[in-house]
Structures are given as C-alpha cells and as structure tokens.
Copies of this chain bind each other. A is one copy, B any other.
Amino acid sequence: MCYGFVACSCLHKATLALRCQETRSTSGGGEERRGEERTSGCTHARTHAFGALWSCHLRCQSFFQFAVMAVDHLSGERATAQFDVEVMKVYLAGGQREHEIATRMAQLVASDPIFSKEDRVRLARKDLYKASIRKAGHAWKTILEKGLSEEESMKLRHFVDEPTFTDLHWGMFIPAIKGQGTEEQQHKWLSLAYKMSIIGCYAQTELGHGSNVQGLETTATFDPATDEFVMHSPTLTSTKWWPGGLGKASTHALVYARLITDNKDHGIHAFIVQIRSLEDHVPLPNVTVGDIGVKFGNGGYNTMDNGFLRFDHVRIPRENMLMRLATVTKDGKYERSDKPRQLGYGAMVFVRQGIVIDASNYLSRAVTIAVRYSAVRRQFGNKDEPGELQVIEYRTQQSKLFPLLATAYAYRAVGFWMKWLYADVMERLKNNDFSTLPEVHACTAGLKSIATSVTADGIEECRKLCGGHGYLCASGLPELYAVYVPACTYEGDNTILLLQVARFLLKTLSQIGKVKPVGTAAYLGNVKQLSTQNCKVSQGHEWSNPSILLEAFEARSARQAAAVALRLARGSGSEADFQENTPELVESARAHCQLIVVSKFIEHLQTETIPEGIKEQLMLMCNTYALSQIVENAGDFLATGYLTGKQIALAKDELKHLFDKIRPNAVALVDAFDHTDDYLGSALGRYDGDVYTHLYKGAFKESLNDTVVVDGYEEYLKPLLTQNLWGPQSKL
C-alpha cells in the first residue's frame, strides 16, 4: 500500500506508486516493469504536462523519498551470497577501528549539505571552484570543531571526495618541508602551515618540462650583496605550469629551481617563495600567477586550481632555500650535506603505497556501479526462457567485469603488503641499512605504474559495460574517470617508471651469481630453471592451484627479462641500444609487476589473520585475477614458450568456472567495499538498485528543463520553423 498514490495521481506519481506497491510483493529486480498502470487520469498533467509534472514532483518529494526507501531490487542478489559481507567489510577497511572511522566519517560528510556533490557536473568553472574552496574550508572547520584526529581528518577529506588545494598543502608542501627543511626551517614554516596561516603548493613542473626534473629552467641566483636569492623565469617554457593549488589559492609555493652561485649551476633545489599577499591575497610584485584553464571532464580536476607562475627577478631571503641536504652560506659557498640522500625514500614508499590503495578504491567504486547495474539491467533473452536476461548473466559481460572486480581485491591486498613494506623500509633507514632500496624503489615504481594504468582503463571499461547510461554523468562514472586518470601521469609518468623497473631487472640479472636478488626480485635467482621448465597443466582445474599460477608468472617474467637482457648483451651496450629496446623493456617490466601482484596476493592469503568465513572468496578473487591476467597476456606466455595454445584454452575454460562461482556472490563482493550511495554519487550504482526511478528523477535537475520552452527558441528556432531566417526576430 502506498499513500503517495492517494495524495497525487498524475502520471509520474502513479507509475511510481505502482512500482512501490509491486516491489513490495515481489523480491528481486525487474519483474514489475511491465505491470500495467492504474492511473485514472490526472487533469493537471493533461493540461500542461511538463509544468504540472514538475510542480507535482516538487510537492511530492516526501512521497518520493518514501517510495525510494521501500525498494531493494538487489535483495535477491544479496540472498545468494555465500559469505558474511560484514566480515569482508572490516577486512577490506583494514581492521575494525579503520572500518568504524570510515563509517563515521562517511556519514558525517553525507549528512552535511555543504559537502553535497549533487550539482558538481552542472556548475560552470567559477562556481565549481568557489563551491570547492568552500568545502575545503568547511572541512577544516569541521576538523577543528569536532577535534578530529589526523586519521579521521584524512578520512573526512577522502569522503568529501574532490581534488582541492588542501591536498597539496597537506600532501606535498608540508611533507617536502619535513623532508628537505632543517629543524629550524621546519619549526618556522610548519607552525604556520599546520594552522593554515599560510597555504602552500608544490611548484615543480614547468610548461616545457615534466618528468625530467633535471631539465627545469627556473633559476634561483644567489646575490651575496643582499643575502638573497633572485627567482627568475628566463623563458616561456620555464613557466611553472600544473601545480595544484597554485592558480588561485596558495600564498606560498615550494619552488624547484636551478641554484646558481657565483655563475655556477648546482642543479635543482627547493625554495619557499611567497607569491600572494597575506593581507589581501593579491599576487606580489613581479609574480605572474593564474589558473591554467579547463581540464578533462565534468567536475573532475576542475575543482582544483592547477596554476601557472612566472618570476621576474623576485627576491627571497637566503633562509628560504630548504637546506637539509645542501646549504648556501652567507658568502655564497655551496655545500652538500653528507646525509644519505636515500633518507627521502621512506616518503616515496609512503606516497606510492597510498596510490596503490587509492587505485583499489577507485576501481572498486567503478566496479560497484557496474556490477549492481549489470544485475538490474536486462537485455535480450535466452530463447529457452521467458523475459529478458540480467546483463550480468552474459559471459561477455562477466569476462570483462569479474576480472576487474578481482583486480580491485588484488590491489587492496597489495596495498596491505606495501604498508608492511613501508614500515620495513623506515626501520631499515633508521639503521642506515640501504640494501633493499633499489628493489623497493623498482617494486613500488612498477606497482604505481600498473595499478594506475589498469585502474584508469578499468574505470572507463566499467563505464562502457554500463552501455548508453554509463555516458550520462548521472552514472557517476564520467567524473570518476576524469578525476582518476591524471594518476597515470603524476608522481612519475607510467612508462618512465616501467623503464626504471626494467633497468633494475637488467642490473639484477647481470649480477646473478655475484649478488643474491632479494624481495620481489628473488625469483630471478632461479632464472635458469624458470627458463627451461615448461608448464605442466593438462586439466582445467589445475589452473586454480596458486603454486601453478605463481610459477607461470615467474617463468614468464624471468624469460622476458632474460630475453631482452640477451638482446642488449648482443648489442653495443650504448644508450641508443637501450632506447631501441624500450618497447620490450616496458613489456618485461610489466610482466614483473604483474607477478608481484599475484605473488603478494597469494602470500597475503597464507597469513593467519584472515577470518575463515571470507577466505574462500578471497582465494576466488586471487585465482580470478591471476588467471585473467594469463588470458589477457596470453601472447607473452606463449611467445616465451612456457605455455601452449591448449593450456591457454584450458585457462579460459577454468576462468568461466571461476565466473560461475563469483556470480552468486558478485553483488555481495561489491557491497563489501562499503561505498555509500552518497560517496558513489551514481544512479546506476545505488545500493537498492532502483536505477530507473533515479535516472528519471535526476533529469528534472537539468538546467535545460528549468523552462518548458527552451531559452533561445525565439531567436534561433522559431525563425527556422516559420521560415523567417531574415526576419527581425531572427538572430541567426
């Protein structure tokens, strides 16, 4: 029984009321869609359909809420789950405490209208930016007001869920000062930064220079006469370009520039430069600064003021150079400290660990939307059964969707391991043990590279898996892609990072017999054995054996690395030779990184801390990830001679068996990511699966629907329709 039906009987309401009634008597989605409508005719809807519908719609919001709360189109899906979703939620959150904090912060954000994301894709840039700095400030106020811990504050910002200047202030400006500033400098600047008396950004990239930091052109020339540095942008290409928070918000910038003393270039160093007045926010003299313009996508990074910055001989005190690792004395003498530069590696591992966890998070959001929608959406039928089939039943859909689901789980597991790795590195650094650093650097660089690339492509794949509706911003997916894809470029371009991994692999191979490879490269010690023994799989189910999977990845990676090393050994050994083989080197590095993910996921599942109730599902995710990677990269496994075409066919068959095991758990497996409807911001990915009601409802928020007759009709459409193109009313 639905009370809304009595209060208002226009077409729209009647349909919804009916939906509500029907879905109460049936479980699962879809059955009610062809139900006939019992409206007896709504007079105001008949006289002026759109306007009436709209006003009626407004009046009946409360009914709408009621109708919405009452359905769960996915309850049938949830009933088939074979594990305890709540246990999985806690596991994925990283523990009970983390889960509790996340839940609380998600609710805090969802319940505060200032943090609403509702209009984000509809706002013009200026309004979007204004709303964003408001949210950033409001988040800070909330943090102070509620006395949130650092962990809680980070979670709060996480759920506010849009890029903003404070990301750079907390995530780059402050850590850089911590890492590169002397104790005195830290005391001075951090005390200001911690209370946000200054807003800082991180100005490294230039218009003409990205990944190659050594190519930066901005200069900081020491003038002993005044004990100052003169900051200068000598060319157009030296313009700082891209730093987030620089364009409109920051008062200070951490500027990377070539240090010049006495006509000598000492390379790139960091300087703190005030760029805006603390009185009125006006840029300081000789500082040219602004926003670089609109970026990819609706919402997305357009909430961020990525900026440009030029200096025309701007003077700063000598003390503004960060001097922990190198100093310039009052008389212009340059000295490098003898502190090991490796000390900075801890921060790098920390950042990359965060990026991999982030990748898992973003991918899991896209997968949640696509899995839920695929369970709601129906299309075509099976000749043998009546009605249309849920899209999630189709093998073509499963073969794209389920591997992505498994990947989100795999990256979560790898993220957990990287947390341990970070702790391990920090411990070693404390004891001046730098032995594992090359391996750690290669492994984290590689994981950053593949996790971000796979995630960006995966989000877009999920969008495509939602068919036409995925193209609507109401799906939440266009924004998600737009906001995520820069991760492939920042913190190291992904191709360049893979080449660094490749160099490490080459070096490791060249030292076999002399130096024992460690950690994630240890398998290379067995390169000979891995190069000769081929896979023994002869039946499909063997492909679900972790040790068989692991060996396959080790063999493929070892063989690819050995093959490219051999090619290089036969060459001249020149840099040009290396360049010539970069495509193969990149492939080899990617193979190594995929192995790391597989091996760490398997390793993780062998620890004792995983509750038994969810272990089976995690193993299913692990096997699905590994096997789908084998199928996807079949060319590598075949070309190295480790697998045969027959074994690949068996892998494909086994994968289908795994998909059958995932199918009844699919919705529960995404529920376990615990994304709230507010955080997902998607009509397609709603928890209750009430997709169509919310797509339809969403259309009424479109600004073009503000008026019945569209703005521009008189000037541009009417002259057409009335053949009055040259008439006085026409503005064509």
Which chain B residues border A123 with CB–CB below 8 Å? 124
**B638 touching A649, Cβ below 8 Å:** no
**Residues 454-489 (chain A) with a chain B CB within 8 angstroms:** 460, 463-464, 467-468, 471-474, 478, 482, 485-486, 488-489
Which chain B residues border A48 with CB–CB below 8 Å? 282, 285
Residue A342 lies at the interface, judged by CB distance under 8 Å to chain B: no
**A295 touching B467, Cβ below 8 Å:** no
Across the two chains, which residue of chain B brings its CB closest to A276?
B709
Task: Give the CA-CA distance A305 to B377 in the complex, in Å.
Answer: 24
Which chain B residues border A315 with CB–CB below 8 Å? none
Task: Give the CA-CA distance A215 to B34 in the complex, in Å.
Answer: 11
**A12 touching B294, Cβ below 8 Å:** no
Task: Give the CA-CA distance A696 to B238 in the complex, in Å.
Answer: 11
Task: Give the CA-CA distance A439 to B219 in the complex, in Å.
Answer: 66
Contact check: which of B11, B294, B474, B700 meets A122 at CB < 8 Å? B294
**Chain A 247-264 against B: per-residue CB contact (8 Å), 1 yes, 0 no?**
111010000000000000
Q: How far is the CB of A695 from chain B (nearest CB, A)?
A: 7
Residue A290 lies at the interface, judged by CB distance under 8 Å to chain B: yes
**Chain A 105-139 against B: per-residue CB contact (8 Å), 1 yes, 0 no?**
00000000000000001111110011001101110
Across the two chains, which residue of chain B brings its CB closest to A33?
B237
Task: Give the CA-CA distance A347 to B56 in the complex, in Å.
Answer: 44
Residue A283 lies at the interface, judged by CB distance under 8 Å to chain B: yes
Q: How far is the CB of A480 from chain B (nearest CB, A)?
A: 11
**Chain A 197-218 against B: per-residue CB contact (8 Å), 1 yes, 0 no?**
1110000010111111001010
Residue A654 lies at the interface, judged by CB distance under 8 Å to chain B: no
Decide yes or no: A721 and B33 within 8 Å by CB, A583-B395, A692-B237, A716-B134 being known contacts: no
Across the two chains, which residue of chain B brings its CB closest to A633?
B635
Residue A704 lies at the interface, judged by CB distance under 8 Å to chain B: yes
Across the two chains, which residue of chain B brings its CB closest to A124?
B124
Residue A196 lies at the interface, judged by CB distance under 8 Å to chain B: yes
Across the two chains, which residue of chain B brings its CB closest to A52?
B288
**B137 touching A207, Cβ below 8 Å:** no
Among listed A88-96, A175-183, A367-375, A573-581, interface-contacting one: A573-581
Which chain B residues border A610 with CB–CB below 8 Å? none
**B140 touching A720, Cβ below 8 Å:** yes
Residue A292 lies at the interface, judged by CB distance under 8 Å to chain B: yes
Task: Give the CA-CA distance A709 to B699 in the complex, in Å.
Answer: 35
Which chain B residues border A569 with CB–CB below 8 Å? none
Q: How far is the CB of A274 from chain B (nearest CB, A)?
A: 12
Among listed A265-273, A316-324, A409-417, A639-647, interface-contacting one: A639-647
**A712 touching B134, Cβ below 8 Å:** yes
Q: How far is the CB of A558 from chain B (nearest CB, A)?
A: 15
**B125 touching A704, Cβ below 8 Å:** yes
Contact check: which of B295, B485, B701, B725 meets A472 at CB < 8 Å? B295
Among listed A151-159, A378-386, A531-539, interface-contacting one: A378-386
**B134 touching A732, Cβ below 8 Å:** yes
Residue A49 lies at the interface, judged by CB distance under 8 Å to chain B: yes
Across the two chains, which residue of chain B brings its CB closest to A239?
B696
**Residues 492-521 (chain A) with a chain B CB within 8 angstroms:** 493, 495, 499
Across the two chains, which residue of chain B brings its CB closest to A299?
B294
Which chain B residues border A485 with CB–CB below 8 Å? 471
**B395 touching A235, Cβ below 8 Å:** no
**Residues 376-401 (chain A) with a chain B CB within 8 angstroms:** 377-380, 382-384, 388, 393-396, 399
Contact check: which of B280, B486, B576, B725 meets A137 at CB < 8 Å? B725
Which chain B residues border A197 with CB–CB below 8 Å? 721-723
**Residues 609-661 (chain A) with a chain B CB within 8 angstroms:** 633-636, 638-641, 645, 648-649, 652, 656
- Number of residues from A at the complex interface, CB < 8 A: 171
Which chain B residues border A581 with CB–CB below 8 Å? 395
Contact check: which of B138, B379, B699 meets A291 at CB < 8 Å? B699
Task: Give the CA-CA distance A719 to B725 in the complex, in Å.
Answer: 54
Residue A53 lies at the interface, judged by CB distance under 8 Å to chain B: yes
Contact check: which of B11, B19, B50, B294 meets A473 at CB < 8 Å? B294
**A472 touching B49, Cβ below 8 Å:** no
Across the two chains, which residue of chain B brings its CB closest to A698?
B293
**Chain A 32-66 against B: per-residue CB contact (8 Å), 1 yes, 0 no?**
01111100000001111110010000000000000
Q: How far is the CB of A113 from chain B (nearest CB, A)?
A: 13
Q: How far is the CB of A715 from chain B (nearest CB, A)?
A: 7
Decide yes or no: A208 and B378 within 8 Å by CB, A137-B732, A472-B294 being known contacts: yes
Residue A693 lies at the interface, judged by CB distance under 8 Å to chain B: yes
With a 10 A CB-CB cut-off, give which of A251, A312, A640, A706 has the most chain B CB atoms.
A312
Residue A607 lies at the interface, judged by CB distance under 8 Å to chain B: no
Which chain B residues border A292 with CB–CB below 8 Å? 472, 695, 699, 702
Contact check: which of B575, B640, B704 meets A382 at CB < 8 Å? B575
Task: Give the CA-CA distance A140 to B80 in the complex, in Å.
Answer: 58
Residue A548 lies at the interface, judged by CB distance under 8 Å to chain B: no
Contact check: which of B16, B212, B584 meets A380 at CB < 8 Å? B212
With a 10 A CB-CB cut-off, give which of A141, A291, A493, A635 has the most chain B CB atoms.
A635
Q: How far is the CB of A473 from chain B (nearest CB, A)?
A: 4
**Chain A 167-204 against B: per-residue CB contact (8 Å), 1 yes, 0 no?**
00000000000000000000000000001111100000
**A287 touching B49, Cβ below 8 Å:** yes
Task: Give the CA-CA distance A261 to B529 in the complex, in Å.
Answer: 75
Residue A351 lies at the interface, judged by CB distance under 8 Å to chain B: no
Residue A281 lies at the interface, judged by CB distance under 8 Å to chain B: yes
Residue A82 lies at the interface, judged by CB distance under 8 Å to chain B: no
Q: How far is the CB of A221 from chain B (nearest CB, A)?
A: 12
The contact sample of 13 A-B pairs, CB cut-off 8 A, is: A121-B294, A125-B703, A130-B711, A210-B467, A236-B696, A248-B710, A291-B699, A297-B478, A393-B579, A396-B499, A396-B586, A638-B638, A639-B649
